[in-house]
Amino acid sequence: MDKFVIRGGNPLVGTIRVSGAKNSALPCMAAAILTEEDVTLENIPQVRDIDTERRLLVSMGAEVKLGDRLLPHSTTISFRTLTLPEAKYEIVKTMRASSLVLGPLVARAGMARVAMPGGCAIGGRPIDLHIRGLEKMGATIVQEHGYLEARATRLKGAHLVFDKITVTGTEDLLMAAVLAHGETVMQNCAREPEVTDLAALLILMGAKIEGAGTSTIHVQGVTSLHGARYRINPDRIEAGTFLVAGAITAGDLTVADCNPEHLRTVIAKIEEAGATVDILGPYAVRVRSDGNLKAADISTEEYPGFPTDMQAQFMALATQAEGVSKITENIFENRFMHVQELVRMGANIKVDGRTATVRGAARLSAAAVMCSDLRASASLVLAALVAEGESILDRVYHMDRGYERFEEKLQGVGAQIQRMGNVFKTRNGEAAAD
């Protein structure tokens, strides 16, 4: 099992580049189910979840072609024949995004058998909102033996109101609606950039969608979609993680190939914590810090609020900030599992329900710690970058689900971080963490 060995104390200096957004790429790959023609996606990150999604689509009958050395982050998906509308448990058990194929499978094939999603243990992500929406669109759904089975001759347009904002629910039902008969109106939708990324691809494929990026989306169903070529947006969470890395290490770091507009709330909090942030243009942000950080409170919210996927990283920053920071997690009920590991490194953190109180300016010391989920892993890397001594992070396969060559990118800007363990080869033949 792979580990990271990190020696803290080096400020990060230089330029670090952001990969494509995993959470955009996954629904966009699922959208290829909706057409018999080729869908080519560019700027696909080479991470574990993407490889799992490729294997899932191939198991259903897709032909998946990866880019060459000149375009290593390109993937072409061809679903000329949908031989098996099923998401098998043995493939999707490590990935939350398996539910994203439910809507497009029913829309195209009239049926779907999808294993209940797995992935990080950060709290419940109920799929009942997906089910209720599809039922309102005319599908019959039963759950047994760990699978959802859905059937519909053809989905029909409906008025859908989400009880709570859900990103994957919005994406799944959006894909179902584009081939449904008539108009679908979706209210209380997620407004995340990943939703607008998916909608932009679907529109290129011939879908009729209005309002993506707002709380109300109108979809006029069409009888078929065609192929398209689309470039995935940069990963705003990876970009935010690197901005925190620059601030926490008293560095001078330029984060390139990102979208600053997607980072406004994160940038605002990093500035509130005492770092200097400059937007260098439409694709780059510079962060500088002299190490004199100060406390700042955060409360996670749906976009455009502070993202839950940045909560753990900001908590690591708060351990180095003078004063007391209050961090409130409103999205997931079990997303403080990194706290005990930060405390092992010397952090002063108390948790009361959904709020963590961080007393900052802690002197962190190296320790052996355990990664519990994707973003918790990132927070431990950030803490280790400023801890005295050599830390060992176990179970870094969680990081490999969503960060592409994370340690290599950090090495390039001065971090003392090494991977210990085996590697597997991506289908491009290049080394990637296993």
Check which CATH number belongs to the domain holding 298 and give it.
3.65.10.10
Task: Say if residue 428's pLDDT is above 60.
Answer: no
**Across 159-168, 308-317, 402-411, 420-429, least confident range:** 420-429
Residues noted as catalytic = 120
Same domain, 209 and 74: yes
Task: Say if residue 432's pLDDT is above 70.
Answer: no
Q: Which of 212, 231, 250 is a domain's end point?
A: 231
Average pLDDT over residues 239-246: 98
Same domain, 356 and 396: yes
Predicted pLDDT of residue 68 = 76
Residue 334 pLDDT grade (very low, low, confident, very high; cuts 50, 70, 90): confident
**Across 41-50, 152-161, 415-424, least confident range:** 415-424
Give per-residue pLDDT as tens, 133-188.
999 999 999 988 889 999 999 999 999 999 999 999 999 999 999 999 999 999 99
How far is Cα 434 from Cα 431, in angstroms, rounded to an integer? 9
Same domain, 140 and 185: yes
Calculate the alpha carbon distances from 103 to 133, 145, 213, 225 in Å.
10, 20, 20, 15
Predicted pLDDT of residue 151 = 97
Residue 430 pLDDT grade (very low, low, confident, very high; cuts 50, 70, 90): very low
What 3 state SS string does 233-252 have?
Answer: CECHHHHHHHHHHHHHCCCE
Same domain, 140 and 266: no
**Domains in the chain, number:** 2
Same domain, 280 and 297: yes
Average pLDDT over residues 75-93: 93
State which residues form the domain around 126.
22-231
Mean pLDDT, the chain, rounded, equals 93
Structure tokens at 429: 């033949």
How far is Cα 70 from Cα 258, in angstroms, rounded to an integer? 21
Same domain, 409 and 379: yes
Percent above pLDDT 70 for the chain: 94
Q: What are phi and psi of 318, to 5 degrees?
A: -65, -30
Same domain, 182 and 251: no
Same domain, 401 and 253: yes
Predicted pLDDT of residue 327 = 98
Within 178-280, where are the H helices? 193-204, 236-248, 264-272
In 3D space, the residue among 132, 83, 85 whose CA is nearest the CA of residue 107 turns out to be 85
Same domain, 27 and 147: yes
Task: Say if residue 426's pLDDT is above 60.
Answer: no
Task: Say if residue 274's pLDDT is above 80.
Answer: yes
Same domain, 327 and 417: yes
Same domain, 322 and 203: no
Residue 434 pLDDT grade (very low, low, confident, very high; cuts 50, 70, 90): very low
User: Counting runs of H as helices and runs of E as strands, what totals does the chain give?
Assistant: 14, 28
pTM higher than 0.75 for the full model? yes
Q: Which of 180, 209, 231 is a domain's end point?
A: 231
Same domain, 301 and 426: yes
How far is Cα 179 from Cα 224, in angstroms, rounded to an integer? 7
Task: Say if residue 132's pLDDT is above 90.
Answer: yes
Q: Which of 191, 210, 231 is a domain's end point?
A: 231
